[in-house]
Amino acid sequence: MDKFIVHQSKLSGSIEVSGSKNAALPIMAATILTDGDCIIHNIPDLMDIRTMMGILEVLGKKITFKKSTLVIKAKRNKSFVAPYNLVRTMRASFCCLGPLLAKRKKAKVALPGGCIIGPRPVDLHMKGLGELGTDIVIENGYCRAKTKGLKGAHIYLGSAFGSSVLATANILMAAVLARGETIIEYAACEPEIECLALFLKEMGADIVGEGTPMLRIRGREQIGGCEFKIIPDRIEAGTFIAVSLATKSTIQIRGANPYHLTSALEVAKKVGAKVIIDRNLAITIKPERRLSPVNITTLAYPGFPTDLQAQFMACLCLAKGISLVTEKIYPERFMHIAELNRMGASIQRNGPYAIIEGKEKLHGAEIMASDLRASAALVIAGLAAEGKTEILRVYHIDRGYDKIEYKLKKLGAKIERRKQ
């Protein structure tokens, strides 16, 4: 296991954003829908991508991954079982379920299990696939499903927490090969779902309404392979915005789509940074004074993403005044609070609310990464804190950030990876 040693750093310069992990993973799963060849560019080199490659290989794909391009071809093996040893590390593997059912009429996918950020139910996935004409049960830690042939349906996919990204992905992918028309209401509007729909359309699917809460899909008998480029990672870009704010460093972020980052850029402006977007869509963040406090509520897109909550909370620990963070997607997603408090932050949690009393300084400490985005928050706090911070268990960060320490070092960050 690796750890990071981080020292307070003043950063400057320009940083390039990689392709989106959360767009790439369901798109990789979508290749199950065809026996044609798929060439997918701008894939980040991450543990989660390697895990999905492993799952697809078990499911009968032959894959090469070179210079951020994946080539996925069909082999003869037509397995329908996604085993627990691969699925357990990554929830996104659950979105093999829809494509397996659509293409192979049966699927056995291990349940991803509990997660440090709180309960992660799969009822919406089961409801939607059930309504498309699937017999679906949970047995011995596996979701088993079979169908005599999927049939289009009118499906409502809302939950108490709003829309679901991966349930939308699963139902959308299944509907592409279902007989007749499917309408998904309360579909997730995240750019990653829009990207998936565009990929499916490149494969020949008939979809209308991507990027909106209502998707209309007319099923096709089959779809083919295609060549496609993944969108930039808005969560990685948002993390760099938070790095800039916390370290009071002017940073240019290249290759991101600022239109996917409106809510995060709005917060950056509210806390007092200058945001400049140039003609090539490079984003420059210039924090010019001590950060002002701000209230953030996480919501489904285009609201503020839960996947940036921890990173922005690390910034607010240094704001001049009291901020309130309300977590509406995962009310338990606050594992980073205890670690930030060990660094001198003053954060009190009450249910889904975190009240952050900004301090002038944070100080280095030995801390533990608990999950992917919390790890990024601790790196941010470490770069802003006086003295040395040791972050244990950084394998979480390798699941979701492509070459994070190299990218940060290029900006002048003092960060080293060591064996724990």
Q: Residue 386 corresponds to which tokens in the numbers above?
A: 């006086």
Is residue 164 a contact residue for ligand UD1 (CB under 6 A)? yes
Q: Return the residues of window 361-390 that contact ligand UD1 according to CB under 6 A.
A: none
Is residue 307 a contact residue for ligand UD1 (CB under 6 A)? yes
Mask for 114-153, x = binds ligand UD1 (CB under 6 A): ------xxxxxx----------------------------
Is residue 166 a contact residue for ligand UD1 (CB under 6 A)? yes
How near is the Cβ of 189 to ligand UD1 at its closest, in Å? 11
Q: Residue 262 corresponds to which tokens in the numbers above?
A: 């409106």
Is residue 161 a contact residue for ligand UD1 (CB under 6 A)? yes
Closest to ligand UD1 by CB, 8 or 236: 236
How near is the Cβ of 22 to ligand UD1 at its closest, in Å? 3
How near is the Cβ of 2 to ligand UD1 at its closest, in Å? 22
Mask for 74-103, x = binds ligand UD1 (CB under 6 A): -----------------xx-----------
Closest to ligand UD1 by CB, 333 or 407: 333
d(CA 321, CA 317): 9
Closest to ligand UD1 by CB, 142 or 251: 142
Is residue 292 a contact residue for ligand UD1 (CB under 6 A)? no
Q: Residue 389 corresponds to which tokens in the numbers above?
A: 């911070």
Is residue 51 a contact residue for ligand UD1 (CB under 6 A)? no
Is residue 306 a contact residue for ligand UD1 (CB under 6 A)? yes
Closest to ligand UD1 by CB, 273 or 401: 401
- In Å, the largest CA–CA distance within the chain is 63
Closest to ligand UD1 by CB, 16 or 48: 48
How near is the Cβ of 28 to ligand UD1 at its closest, in Å? 11
Closest to ligand UD1 by CB, 91 or 407: 91
d(CA 118, CA 331): 7
How near is the Cβ of 132 to ligand UD1 at its closest, in Å? 15
Reply yes or no on whether 115 is catalytic: yes
Is residue 187 a contact residue for ligand UD1 (CB under 6 A)? no
Is residue 22 a contact residue for ligand UD1 (CB under 6 A)? yes
How near is the Cβ of 383 to ligand UD1 at its closest, in Å? 23
Distances in Å between the Cα of 343 and the Cα atoms of 184, 208, 382, 386 are 45, 49, 8, 9
d(CA 258, CA 381): 24
Closest CA to 245 of 230, 264, 260, 226: 264
How near is the Cβ of 241 to ligand UD1 at its closest, in Å? 17
Identified catalytic residue from 115, 143, 189, 195: 115
d(CA 129, CA 125): 6
Amino acid identity, residue 2? D
d(CA 138, CA 163): 22
Closest to ligand UD1 by CB, 164 or 370: 164
**For ligand UD1, which residue of 15, 17, 25, 268 counts as binding (CB under 6 A)?**
25
Active site residues: 115
Which residues of the chain form contacts with ligand UD1 (CB under 6 A)?
A: 22, 25, 91-92, 120-125, 159, 161, 164-167, 192, 306-307, 329-330
